[in-house]
Structure 1
Amino acid sequence: MPGIVHVVDDDASYLSAIQQLLEASGYRVATYASAQQLLDRQPDDSKGCILLDVRMPGISGLELQSRLTERGSKLPIIFLTAYPDVSITVKAIKAGADDFLIKPVGSEDLLSAISRAITRHRNVRALDGELEALRSRLSTLTSRQRQVFEIIVQGKTNKLAARELGSTERTVKAHRSAIMDKLQVQSVVDLVRIAERLGVLGDKDEPNAIG
């Protein structure tokens, strides 16, 4: 399934029309007559997106966006409004909105915006999952292995690493082998890439061949 589209709008006829369009296009749809309804139901943010009206009684679209952010929701938000306002558009985009569409919006434009938002969300979640897996593997290193890891990703030789740690080259090589096994990589280059992705790569010294 392409994902769940959560539609928040106080106009019942508009909700019905949007639901018919999206379901005909293969989406599952959840509709809410107010922002509070969506907050009360706490939708799963693992997939899909939110179509959100800007002006509604009670909690406005921008206020809902802020509350969802506070709750840690990562569902992409596409704003819909019949009253374009540059300042509101800027606020919404700065706060992380995926798109801002003006009613009436054409079916193709709406479906394209939804597809882009869901695809981006899926890609971000995939990257987050990869990073979490890398962090999990990194956490399995012993304190000494972590020290060796942080030294060798700076391009230092085994000899320099051993000297810095007050150890021997043979011991450093053994640690490096164990580190590669735990992190499931085949080369120091792969270790450096992991360090860069996780933000644990310090300032590099002049590059040296790792022996």
Structure 2
Amino acid sequence: MTDQIVYVVDDDEDVRDSLQWLLESVDLQVESYATAQAFLDAYPAGQSGCVLMDVRMPGLSGLSAQKKLPDYEIDIPLIMISAHGNVDMAVTAMTQGARTFIEKPFNDQTLLDHVQRALDQDRAQREQRQQRQQIQRRFATLTKREKQVFERVIEGLSNQEVADALAINRKTVEGHRANMMAKMEAGSLAELIQMAVQLGVLGRC
């Protein structure tokens, strides 16, 4: 599922049709739903894209549906739309994680710009997750001793200091360090520290 999809969720059929026409006019793939629950039930796990959701709908409102997104493993940027927008709704939507909040009627190009930025954000987030998963897989291949060396190297310890801390020979540390750097595919200490940040181990070792 590499193609991004823009999900339109609005109980107003005219709005759904007009949004679908507008988005498809710039070659975006669109799926539309009349209710929030229908969208939640239909969303395929892991699908890339973004969602345009009306705030006020019969049954499950947009704000209520927003709270349910994690339960359905939906992690794509959300743009909240409404013909009855107010400051409280906007604050609530943004606080709950919406990318932005726009009011109907909206300028076509403004909406398209918001959607494109949301799709760019989704793509960047997925690339970051994939990169982090690759780093986690590399880290998992390290031996217990290599992990110990890893943790001390990112703390800034020299080979001799690592050797003293682990009560082993400096040459042994150099061997473990070389193996660890190769397995992590780190070309420098700076790269290794960046990986440690992504792994979430920097600062707690």
| Range with bigger deviation, 140-149 or 38-47 | 38-47
In the TM superposition, 1:163-182 aligns within 5 A as 163-182=164-183
Q: Which amino acid aligns with 1:134?
A: I
2:113 match: 112
TM-superposed CA distance for 1:85, in Å, is 1.6
SS of 2:94 mapped into structure 1:
helix
List per-residue Cα deviations over 1:66-119 (Å, max 9, x = no partner). Answer: 111232311111111000121111111011101111001111011000001110
Q: Which runs of 5+ in 2 are unaligned?
A: none
In the TM superposition, 1:80-159 aligns within 5 A as 80-159=81-160
TM-superposed CA distance for 1:44, in Å, is 4.4
**8 Å Cα contact 1:2-1:27 kept in structure 2:** no
TM-superposed CA distance for 1:39, in Å, is 1.7
Q: 1: distance between equivalents of 2:135 and 2:98?
A: 29
**8 Å Cα contact 2:40-2:72 kept in structure 1:** no
TM-superposed CA distance for 1:43, in Å, is 3.6
Q: Which amino acid aligns with 2:29?
A: R
1:53 is the counterpart of 2:54: yes
SS of 1:29 mapped into structure 2:
strand
Q: 2: distance between equivalents of 1:140 and 1:169?
A: 22
List per-residue Cα deviations over 1:32-57 (Å, max 9, x = no partner). Answer: 01111112212444311111001000
Q: 1: distance between equivalents of 2:46 and 2:77?
A: 9
In the TM superposition, 1:7-22 aligns within 5 A as 7-22=8-23
1:35 match: 36
TM-superposed CA distance for 1:139, in Å, is 1.1
SS of 2:75 mapped into structure 1:
coil
| Range with bigger deviation, 189-198 or 15-24 | 189-198
TM-superposed CA distance for 1:192, in Å, is 2.1
1:208 match: none
TM-score by length of 2: 0.94
Q: Which amino acid aligns with 1:190?
A: E
Overall identity of the aligned pairs, in %: 38
Q: 1: distance between equivalents of 2:44 and 2:53?
A: 14
Q: Which amino acid aligns with 2:158?
A: T
**8 Å Cα contact 2:45-2:73 kept in structure 1:** no
Q: 2: distance between equivalents of 1:62 and 1:149?
A: 44
Q: Which amino acid aligns with 2:203?
A: G
TM-superposed CA distance for 1:187, in Å, is 2.4
Q: 1: distance between equivalents of 2:203 and 2:111?
A: 45
Q: Which amino acid aligns with 1:106?
A: N
SS of 1:55 mapped into structure 2:
coil
1:188 match: 189
**8 Å Cα contact 2:4-2:47 kept in structure 1:** no
SS of 1:6 mapped into structure 2:
strand
Q: 2: distance between equivalents of 1:89 and 1:131?
A: 32
List per-residue Cα deviations over 1:156-201 (Å, max 9, x = no partner). Answer: 1211111111110110000001001100122223222222332212
